[in-house]
Amino acid sequence: MGYSAVYAVLVDGGALRSDFHVVPLVVAAFAATSAGMSPVLVGGVSVVTVVGLHVGVEGLRVLLAGWGLVIDTSRTVMLVLIVVAATVIGAMVHRLTEAGASLAVRNAQLQALQSVRERAAVQAERTRIARELHDVVAHHVTAIVVRAQAADRVGADRPEEYREAVRWIAPAGREALGAMRSVVRVLRDDAPARQTAPEPPASEPVPPAEPAPLVPAVSLVPAAHSVRVPPESSPVPVLADLGAVVDRVRGAGLPVDATLPDPWPSCPPEVGLSVVRIAQEALTNVLHHSDAERATVRLTTSSGVLVLDVQDAGPARRPDPAVAAHGGHGLVHMRERAAACGGTVRAAPEGAGWRVRLEVPLG
């Protein structure tokens, strides 16, 4: 009676005919490979287990029913394929998960790199703006300060020279203001907007433009150098503006012996800008830091290299403690400008004075 009941439940009831005994194995194979275990290892173990279970179940049915052992090969293959499919799907899920995590990491790295590049670009732009403003403001303001100091020294004994020096300061200040506005306009890149700006309404009076007076000749500067200080020909200086820089320094009271090429050599805009700004900074340093009575400027070409040489005989002036405490940026800016166009600059004492030599390729 007991044997008949077991047979009825397991065989006639279909418990041993069902293949649900492989479901836990399918779930285990998927979970193992999706967690990162080797698909080959998991698949091999799963296939052996499926075959073993299937043979074992069929053997139990034979034992209970008293039949001969017959293995249904198609069912066995089907169960093996199901387990293998679960293993493959788990491995694919694991790879997709890893790929997603890798993409997330790379995306975070790219965002960090982009942030670094943006900060570097902002810093480079700030450095460029600071360099331009320093070179323009320092040059013009130093010339004005030097001329004002000269006027103060001769004021009591030579009133006519004092008045002439004072009259020089006003147009020099206007020129400095115009140069600073030009730099700001170039940096903001709003020149086209200014050119296309609408005319003011007719009802609004337009004040007449004040003519720029000529810089008078004073006895503090040799007559041969007493010329009107020409402005730079464009907001961004070109190589030919070096002559204007020399004349501006002469007008400030420092005789300059200039040897300049005629005609001017052709060079890229960045080379011309660097030459003008470095010469401007070197002459400004002579005005500001030296008691030299004369400076020399030479611009020559040799084997495709443009050579600028600015020199004074000194002696050096005692440094201003307030200026020395903050340090200067002129030499740093010279090196940055030279490096930007593939050149080199050397600034060092020579004798009692100072010498700046720039070499930059023309091509």
According to the model, what pLDDT value does residue 72 have? 63
Residues 232 and 339 in one domain: yes
List CB contacts of 61: < 8 A, sequence separation 6 or more.
10, 11, 16, 17, 67
At residue 231, does pLDDT exceed 90? no
According to the model, what pLDDT value does residue 276 have? 92
Residues 110 and 141 in one domain: no
Long-range contacts of 239-245 (CB under 8 A, 24+ apart): 239/264, 239/265, 239/267, 239/271, 239/272, 239/275, 239/276, 240/264, 240/272, 241/272, 241/276, 242/275, 242/276, 242/279, 242/297, 242/299, 245/139, 245/276, 245/279, 245/280, 245/283
Give the chain's largest Cα–Cα span. Answer: 144
Residues 156 and 301 in one domain: yes
According to the model, what pLDDT value does residue 59 have? 58
According to the model, what pLDDT value does residue 7 have? 40
At residue 312, does pLDDT exceed 60? yes
Last residue of a domain, one of 66, 87, 114: 114
Residues 102 and 135 in one domain: no
CATH code of the domain covering residue 279: 3.30.565.10
Domain that holds residue 62: 2-114
Q: What is the pTM of this model?
A: 0.51
Q: Is residue 211 part of a domain?
A: no
Residues 24 and 133 in one domain: no
Residues 96 and 184 in one domain: no
Instruction: Single out the residue of 264, 171, 297, 276 nearest to residue 234, CA to CA.
Output: 276
pLDDT digits (tens, 9 = 90+) for 320-350: 665 555 556 778 888 988 998 899 999 999 9
Q: Is residue 124 part of a domain?
A: no
DSSP-derived pairing of the beta strands 344-350 and 353-361: antiparallel
Q: Is residue 120 part of a domain?
A: no
Residues 255 and 323 in one domain: yes
Residues 303 and 338 in one domain: yes
Burial of 211 (0-12, 13-18, 19+ CB in 10 A): exposed
Last residue of a domain, one of 54, 80, 114: 114
**Domains: count for the chain:** 2
116-143: average pLDDT: 77
According to the model, what pLDDT value does residue 333 have? 82
pLDDT digits (tens, 9 = 90+) for 183-196: 777 667 644 444 44
Last residue of a domain, one of 88, 114, 140: 114
What span, in angstroms and rounded, lies between the C-alpha atoms of 336 and 332? 6
At residue 265, does pLDDT exceed 80? yes
Residues 157 and 291 in one domain: yes
Residues 270 and 323 in one domain: yes
pLDDT digits (tens, 9 = 90+) for 49-85: 777 766 666 655 555 555 555 556 777 778 788 888 8
Residues 108 and 167 in one domain: no
Q: Is residue 208 part of a domain?
A: no
Residues 174 and 247 in one domain: yes
